[in-house]
A = this chain, B = another copy of it.
């Protein structure tokens, strides 16, 4: 095999990873997996795809080495192969956001949807270090507003889970007299914006954590898994089961 041919083979191999990133559906699956492990069925539902289609896309991601599988009884859990994959995904979003004007627009458009009309454009945010300090001081409640499955897969230690769609009727479960810091998936996730709007409308003091689970994982700060705290009413509800 000639030099030239070897070079072509090498680039063609690299392109397998590129190809894996070359489909909106697959990026959506990666985005979901950045929150934590999930079963095929679950991913299909979350991404609104057929089961066979989802499985096929996951195979492509697996061939490219971006995800790994773990069999748990009758179901297969997919997860990201490592932090470098999150970094690659993040870098892709950075470049796209910076270089493709349509991406910036689509992002703004998406983030604006679902928020109360007239809501402030930029909500007050807290950074990671500030959050950790205020948590240590016992000043704030950390609120995870993602779907429960994602909370179970991985969440910030000490955070309570109230999915944003349940927030209006469960807002009283949050300990009163404490400020709330809400977080969701990451920079491209709208849930925490909505949550802060809801909380403020209810008279609470609330901020958005500047980063989401995706960025949190990149820092290699610890995460908790499993049911954890489901807000103040948790004891009673767990008892019912």
Which residues of A are interface residues toward B (Cβ below 8 A)? Answer: 3-4, 6-28, 31, 48, 64-66, 81-82, 84-85, 87-88, 91-96, 98-100, 102-103, 106-107, 109-110, 113-114, 188, 190
Shortest C-beta distance, A165 to chain B (Å), equals: 12
- Chain B nearest CB from A194 CB (Å) reads 11
**What residues on B are CB-neighbors of A88 within 8 Å?**
88, 91-92, 94-95
Bound Cα distance A207, B127 (Å): 45
Give the 3 A-B residue pairs with the shortest CB-CB distance, closest first: A65-B99, A18-B21, A22-B22
Secondary structure of the A contact surface, majority rule: helix
CB pair A84–B95 under 8 Å, yes or no, is yes
Complex Cα gap A7–B26 (Å): 13
15 A–B contacts from the bound complex (CB under 8 Å): A6-B109, A10-B103, A10-B106, A10-B109, A10-B110, A13-B24, A13-B100, A15-B21, A15-B27, A18-B20, A21-B22, A22-B22, A84-B91, A84-B94, A84-B99
Residues A14 and B65 in contact in the complex (CB < 8 Å), given A4-B48, A84-B95, A85-B95: no
A11 is contacted by which of B17, B20, B28, B84 (Cβ under 8 Å)?
Answer: B28
| Interchain CA distance A148-B175 in the complex, whole Å | 69
B22-A18 in contact (CB<8A): yes
Cα–Cα, bound, A188→B91 (Å): 21
Beyond A6-B106, A12-B24, A88-B95, 20 additional contacts (C-beta under 8 Å) are A3-B110, A3-B113, A6-B109, A7-B110, A8-B28, A9-B106, A9-B110, A10-B110, A13-B96, A13-B103, A14-B92, A15-B26, A15-B27, A17-B95, A19-B22, A64-B99, A65-B100, A84-B99, A85-B95, A88-B88
In the complex formed, the residue of B with least CB distance to A99 is B65
> Given the complex, which residues of B lie within 8 Å of A48, measured CB to CB?
4
Q: Shortest Cβ distance from A173 into chain B, in angstroms?
A: 25
Q: A188–B92 Cα gap in the complex (Å)? A: 21
Residues in chain B near residue A94, CB distance under 8 A: 84, 88
How distant is the Cα of A137 from the Cα of B188 in the complex, in angstroms? 50
Across the interface, which residues of B come within 8 angstroms of A31, CB to CB?
A: 11
Q: How far is B18's CA from A113's CA once the two chains are assembled, in angstroms?
A: 25
A185 to chain B, nearest CB (A): 11
Q: Are B96 and A65 in contact (CB under 8 A)?
A: yes
